[in-house]
Amino acid sequence: MIRVQHEPFDPGREQRALIQGRSDIGAVVSFTGLVRDFNERPEVEALTLEHYPGMTESALTDIVKEAESRWPLQGVCVIHRVGRLTPGDPIVLVVVASAHRREAFEACDFIMDYLKTRAPFWKKEHTSSGHYWVAERASDQRDARRWEEP
């Protein structure tokens, strides 16, 4: 299940919906990303998330398919918010269900690494000293390369 939305989400409700009525799931790993109040500059007051409608959904679908081809997964939920967010707001949710914990941990980690480097989202931060587009991080690229074939 993949959603791109303006509205907040409830990680507990999404997780319950994913595993409801299932007895074959042995592990659920959930990651929630939140808006920080410091990043490239201190005192981030808000951020605006832009995306590329259409490509965003297909990029996220491809990432989830790739995860499903690498690990035996029983269910995946990815929600990413767009629009204006303030510190403390949930911004992204990845919930992965599997029979065993290792697969769920790894697939959740993988989906976040690929989402951060391949899904067309862009953050603009608003601070007391001005607005600016967030620059990409070399560490995100390094993290994503961990999953490539040796």
Partner 1 sequence: MSLTHLNVRGEAHMVDIADKSESQREAIASGHIAMRPETLALLVEGGLPKGDVLATARIAGIQAAKRTHELIPLCHALALSKVAIDFHLDEEASRVEVSATCRLNGRTGVEMEALTAVSVACLTLYDMCKAVDKGMQIGAIRLESKTGGKSGDYRREADESEAPIVTGEYRSGEVSVGMRADLPCVRVKCLAELRERLGVSDLDVPFDSLEEQNVAGLKAALKARDDRFARLEDARILCAVNQVMGGDSTPLTADDEVAFFPPVTGG
Element (H, E) at 38: none
Q: Calculate Rg over the CA atoms of the chain.
A: 16
Distance, in Å, from the CA atom of 49 to the CA atom of 92, rounded to the nearest integer, reads 11
Distance, in Å, from the CA atom of 104 to the CA atom of 28, rounded to the nearest integer, reads 6
Is residue 49 a contact point for partner 1 (CB under 8 A)? yes
Distance, in Å, from the CA atom of 65 to the CA atom of 11, rounded to the nearest integer, reads 22
Evaluate whether 133 touches 115 at the Cβ level (below 8 Å): no
In this chain, which of 11, 33, 87, 90 binds partner 1, going by CB under 8 A?
33
In this chain, which of 22, 36, 41, 142 binds partner 1, going by CB under 8 A?
41
Q: Which is nearer to partner 1, 22 or 137 (CB)?
A: 137
Residue 76: CB minimum distance to partner 1, A: 16
Is residue 145 a contact point for partner 1 (CB under 8 A)? no
Is residue 139 a contact point for partner 1 (CB under 8 A)? no
The footprint of partner 1 (CB under 8 A) covers 33, 40-43, 48-52, 54-55, 58, 80, 84, 91-92, 112, 115-124, 126, 128-136, 138, 140
